[in-house]
Amino acid sequence: MMDMFTIILVFLLVFFDPEARPDPEFQLPSSVATQQVAEGTTLRVRRDAIEVNGQSVLPLVDGELGNAARDGRRVLAVLGALEAARAQVPGGELPLMVECDQAVPWSTLGDLLATAAGAGFQSYRFVVLGGADGPIPPAGAAPGQVF
Amino acid sequence: MRRRRVQATAELDLIPVLSLVVHLVPMLLLSVRFMTLAEHPVDRAPVEATEAPSREKLEAQEEERVIVRITATGFAVRGAGDGEAQIACTGGCGPGDYDYRALGDAMVAAKGLHPRVQQVIVAPDPGVPYAVIIGVMDATRSRRAGDREEPLFPQPVLVTGSGELRP
C-alpha cells in the first residue's frame, strides 16, 4: 500500500503546478459534443497568434488578422505552414483539427478555414471542451491542472 | 554455558509517512480538474455565398435547405418555403445572451417540416465570436430528450455571407 501511495503521490506532484492559471489568450468554448478527438493537423487560433502543429506562424491582435499578407481570402503565412504540414502526412488525408479561442470572430476564422481549404484540407474538426449539459453559455477553459 | 545469539531487527515506523501521504493524495486530487476534449466534425469546406454559383450550387437551390443566420442581434432561422423565425438575444447580445434554447425549438420545428434534410447552413456575420457558432452547432445537431438524443441536422455547412447561395 505504501508503494501504491508513493507512486500516486509522485505522479501528482510531477503534474502539480501551483501557479497554473487559465490562459487569457486561449480558451476553448464549451459544447455538448461527445465525439472523441481524432488525430490530425492542428490549427490553433489564439487571440494573439496562430499556430500550426505547435509552431507560431502569425501574430494576431485581439483575434483579428489585421494587415496580414493575403491572396484573396487566403492568409499566405498560414497557407504555407498548412501546405508544409499536409506534405508531411503520408497520403495527406488527415483532417484539420481547429482549436480556436472562443472570442475569435468569424471574420478571422472564416478566412483561416478558406486558407485551409486552399491548402487542401476539405474537412475539419472543431475541438471544444466536451460534456457541457445543454446549449452553451460559453465557459472559460478549465482552471487548475489538465492531464 | 552457551550464549544465545540474539539477532537485533529494526523496523522503520512508516505510520507517520503513510499518514502524510494519505493526506497529500486527496489534497492533490482535489486541486486537479480533468478536462474532456470533444470535436464537432464539419465535412465540407466553408462556402463563399457571394461567389457566382456553380452548377452544383444551382442544383442545390432546388433542394430543401435550412439556414441559420447569426447576426449581432440574434438568430434568423429559415427553411425552404417557410417564413423566417427571428430569435432575439435575451440580453445584451454577448456570447452568453444568444437564445440557444429557442433556437433548438426552432430547429425541432424545422426538422418537422423537413425530415429528410440533414444539412444546415450556418451563416455567421463577420463579428460573431466562435463560441456562438459552436452553440449554434450544438443546438442544430441534436436535441436531448431525457436520456435519448434525437438527431436534427448533423451536417453543418458554414457560409460566409447571408446564407443565400444566389448571387
pLDDT digits (tens, 9 = 90+) for B55-107: 455 445 546 778 899 998 999 988 756 677 889 988 788 778 899 989 988 89
Query: Do the domain assignments include residue A103?
Result: yes
Collect all residues with Cβ–Cβ distance below 8 Å to A61 and sequence separation of at least 6: A48
Query: Do the domain assignments include residue A22?
Result: no
| Distance separating alpha carbons of residues B116 and B62, to the nearest angstrom | 14
- The answer to whether the Cβ–Cβ distance between B39 and A38 falls below 8 Å is yes
Return the pLDDT at B46.
64
Which position has the higher pLDDT, A2 or A126?
A126
| Burial class, A57, CB count within 10 angstroms (exposed 0-12 / middle 13-18 / buried 19+) | buried
Query: Do the domain assignments include residue A60?
Result: yes
pLDDT confidence band for A90 (50 / 70 / 90): confident
Q: Which domain holds residue A117?
A: 27-133
Q: Does A103 touch chain B (CB under 8 A)?
A: yes
CB–CB of B140/B122 below 8 Å? yes
Return the pLDDT at B167.
34
Query: Do the domain assignments include residue A19?
Result: no
Q: Which of A62, A136, A146 is the best residue to mutate to test the B interface, defined by the most B CB atoms within 10 Å of its own CB?
A: A136
- The answer to whether the Cβ–Cβ distance between A33 and B40 falls below 8 Å is yes
Which position has the higher pLDDT, B110 or A133?
B110
DSSP track, B35-71: --EEEEEE-SPPEETTSPP-HHHHHHHTS--EEEEE-
Is the ipTM value over 0.85, yes or no?
no
Query: Do the domain assignments include residue A64?
Result: yes
Query: Do the domain assignments include residue A2?
Result: no
State the DSSP code for A19.
T
Q: Does B96 touch chain A (CB under 8 A)?
A: yes
Sign of the CA dihedral running A58, A59, A61, A62 = positive
- The answer to whether the Cβ–Cβ distance between A2 and B44 falls below 8 Å is no
- The answer to whether the Cβ–Cβ distance between A9 and B160 falls below 8 Å is no
Q: Which of A1, A11, A32, A123 is the best residue to mutate to test the B interface, defined by the most B CB atoms within 10 Å of its own CB?
A: A32
- Is the pLDDT assigned to residue B48 strictly greater than 70? no
- Is the pLDDT assigned to residue A45 strictly greater than 90? yes
Which of B32, B42, B134 comes nearest A29 by C-beta? B134
CB–CB of B104/B153 below 8 Å? no
**For chain B, what is the radius of gyration of the CA atoms?**
29
Overall number of domains in chain A: 1
pLDDT confidence band for B1 (50 / 70 / 90): low
Residues of B in Cβ contact (< 8 Å) with A34 = 38
Residue with cell string 493575403: A70
Query: Do the domain assignments include residue A89?
Result: yes
Chain A residue closest in CA terms to B99: A135
